[in-house]
Chain A
Amino acid sequence: MEVPIGAAELLEREYLGIRAKILEIAATFDRIDRSRGDLVASREMPLIRQALEVLLSEKENATRAEQIQLIFSRPYDEQWIKTLEMPSR
């Protein structure tokens, strides 16, 4: 289904919102940097980095939201029936 609104109009409409969200992330990172301790062992920081890289990727198939969702997801274990030792049916 086509998006009824053109790209330029959509960007103009969303520009301030996008700007605000990026600033919020920047200020949060600054706050973390200013605080005590380091994040060497952090599980979250590499995920955030990966997600930010997806944001900068070229449009191609426009699936950034889906890709970022998967970065923040546990991977699907196809063998879950075995892993959980479910009784056979």
Chain B
Amino acid sequence: MYYFDPHIHMVSRTTDDYEMLAKMGCVGLSEPAFWAGFDRGSVDGFRDYFCQLTEFEPNRAGWYGIAHYTWLCINAKEAENVELSREVIAMIPEFLDRPGVLGIGEIGLNKNTKNEATIFLEHLDLAARTDEQILIHTPHLEDKYQGTRMILDMLCDDARLNRSRVCVDHVEEHTVRHVLEEGFWAGMTLYPVSKCTPERAVDIVERYGPERLLVNSAGDWGPSKPTAVPDFILAMRLRGHPESLIRRVVYENPLAFFGQSRNFHFAPPDEKNVPGQ
């Protein structure tokens, strides 16, 4: 089955991973800007990172027929440095017209601090002014509930935002309902040590239906599994769900969500020319 991974950090993965994803049916992915494992020292560090995300990664993905899209921001962890964050936010518009840039993300909260909330709001303002879509990271473990509720408060407080163009990611059993009820998209992240498992993601689909739900691996430099979406596909099948429902969640939903971005262009694989023809 063809699928999208709507949240995966390929800068941290090898070319072999791109090949494996392609073999498993991945035809497109989106890569949000995130924390590199260390704090970057200057706005130029971010500029270089955004070049990597908009130039080299789409190239590398293309070697295996995978369409690569990206989201730009300074992540919540580095948002503790408010001054640097503001410099990065001011620089982001240089990249917003590049092909494959879907919007602002993954912004959000990490430890639910004042600085994080301040920079989150400034990112929201940037997205509203530039009419960009938004991808949101929610905190981990015991901070997730409070952080998700704070994020929803801030989103719902900004009347300029179109809720169907915002995805709140890393939802779990206690946060998904709040996100969907407010009209946002919700992403389920299948991650080995924290977040959701494939079976629990299937439970959430059964509970809430496929509307505005996405599934991703959030594969990165940590212990993560870039092929988590195929795991979800298998778990859905073993649970007895029809192919049409699975395809809706892993293929049609990402297309519908990404399709609202002006820089999203995608040739479905069944309509594409096969090389050599």
Q: Taking beta carbons and an 8 Å cutoff, which residues of A are in contact with B?
A: 1-5, 63, 65-66, 69-70, 72-77, 80-81, 84-86, 89
Contact = CB atoms under 8 A, between A and B. Distances in A.
Interface string B154-169: 0001000000000000
A75 B241 contact: no
A81 B120 CA distance: 14
B173 interface: yes
Interface of B: 112-114, 117-118, 121, 141-146, 149-150, 153, 157, 172-174, 200, 203, 205-207, 209, 239-241
Contact of A84 (B117, B173, B206): B117
Contacts of A81: 153
A50 B266 CA distance: 49
Contact of A76 (B149, B172, B173, B239): B149
B105 to A, nearest CB: 22
B173 A77 contact: no
A65 B175 CA distance: 11
B145 A1 contact: no
A73 B150 contact: no
A57 to B, nearest CB: 15
A65 B203 contact: yes
B114 A84 contact: yes
Given A69-B145, A73-B143, A89-B157, 19 more contacts: A3-B206, A3-B239, A4-B241, A63-B173, A65-B203, A66-B173, A69-B173, A69-B174, A70-B174, A72-B141, A73-B142, A73-B146, A74-B142, A77-B146, A84-B114, A84-B117, A85-B114, A86-B114, A86-B117
Nearest to B121: A89
Nearest to B141: A72
B200 A65 contact: yes
Secondary structure of the A contact surface, majority rule = loop
Contacts, number: 56
A82 to B, nearest CB: 11
A1 B114 contact: no
A70 B206 contact: no
Nearest to B112: A80
Contact of B113 (A63, A65, A84): A84
Contacts of A70: 145, 174
B39 to A, nearest CB: 22
Contacts of B209: 1
Nearest to A77: B146
A65 B201 CA distance: 12
A4 B145 CA distance: 30
B5 to A, nearest CB: 24
A73 B117 contact: no
20 contacts: A1-B205, A2-B206, A3-B206, A3-B239, A4-B240, A5-B240, A65-B173, A65-B200, A69-B172, A72-B141, A72-B142, A73-B143, A73-B146, A74-B146, A75-B145, A81-B153, A84-B113, A85-B114, A86-B114, A86-B117
